[in-house]
Amino acid sequence: MGSKNGGKTTIILRCLEREESPKPTLALEYTFGRRARRHNTPKDIAHFWELGGGTSLLELIRVPITSHNIRSFAVVLVLDLSKPNELWTTMEDLLQVTRNHVNKILTKLEKTNAEVAAEIKQRKWNDLQRDHPDYELVDPFPIPLMIIGSKYDLFQEFDSEMRKIISKTLRFVSHYCGASLVLINHLAFGYDKSKSVSVDPSKPLFIPAGLDSLSQIGPPPASDSDIGKLRANTPWELWKKVFEKTFPPKSLRDLQDTKDPAQDTQYAEYEVDVMRAEKNQELERYKRNASKSWKEMDFDSD
């Protein structure tokens, strides 16, 4: 999941070693891949669910994450580095909805399978040792999380101070959520766990979960006087306000698609427009009916 047109499909295709051109993702799409760990051994199967539309289809997050696969599920959040004004809103909205859904599943599991629920809750702390200085200050995501910053080639063209603010903020977000962080070129995806940590803001970042710290990240990129004027109850709120002061978030209207050409009078065609109006009415009826059924549906049932 992640930024609209942020390169999610490209990353999946590269991961699956498929040589094909990416197509726009419609709603929620599924694919899978097989790979053997060693020669003449059974192949592992990886299931990929991709959420399209940026933050416009948040409710669909509930579909692939269920109590049946929660133990083997991981979230990959792809953020478009070339659009910093959309970055925080996209990141926060997607993570919040996913976290809430996973926590609901865990609450149900505590009643039906307390052992599994306890295992999952404990596992989120595995990357952060108890003697880590930030152990009491962070709030790890309930399931494994990787944050990928895409389109690094465009990001490199930014002013060095802007790059520093974005990089530093992503380091904080990833560390706070117990996530791994990787900044990549949108066409060059490679993930090698043996690779050494890279925190140099002038280069692509590579920081596995649990190997960063608030002291190494440093304070939010703002003067002491500016920070003193900000009202924040948590480190998360403080970093958000500092980041959005430099990169004001776009309004919901700005994040919507551009004007629908079907509504432009210069393209008017009577017969086509009549048919379109009928289809729009059918779509609205479908949305109302679907909304009712979604609310009544138990997504954790077989």
Q: Are residues 203 and 292 in the same domain?
A: no
Asked, for residue 19, whether it belongs to a domain, the answer is yes
- Phi, psi (degrees; rounded to nearest 5) at 37: -75, -40
* CA neighbor of 51 nearest in space, from 89, 99, 104, 4: 4
Asked, for residue 98, whether it belongs to a domain, the answer is yes
Q: Are residues 274 and 249 in the same domain?
A: no
* CA neighbor of 213 nearest in space, from 168, 172, 181, 243: 172
The pLDDT assigned to 56 comes to 82
Q: Are residues 155 and 44 in the same domain?
A: yes
Asked, for residue 265, whether it belongs to a domain, the answer is yes
Q: Are residues 182 and 291 in the same domain?
A: no
The pLDDT assigned to 263 comes to 60
* CA neighbor of 181 nearest in space, from 228, 213, 227, 145: 145
Mean pLDDT by 10 residues, the chain (302 residues): 89 82 82 77 84 85 89 93 94 95 93 90 85 88 94 91 94 94 60 67 88 91 76 86 90 50 65 76 56 45 41
Q: Are residues 150 and 51 in the same domain?
A: yes
Asked, for residue 208, whether it belongs to a domain, the answer is yes
pTM higher than 0.85 for the full model? no
User: What is the span of the domain harbouring residue 268?
Assistant: 261-296
Using only C-alpha atoms, the chain has a radius of gyration, in whole angstroms, of 21
Q: Are residues 231 and 270 in the same domain?
A: no
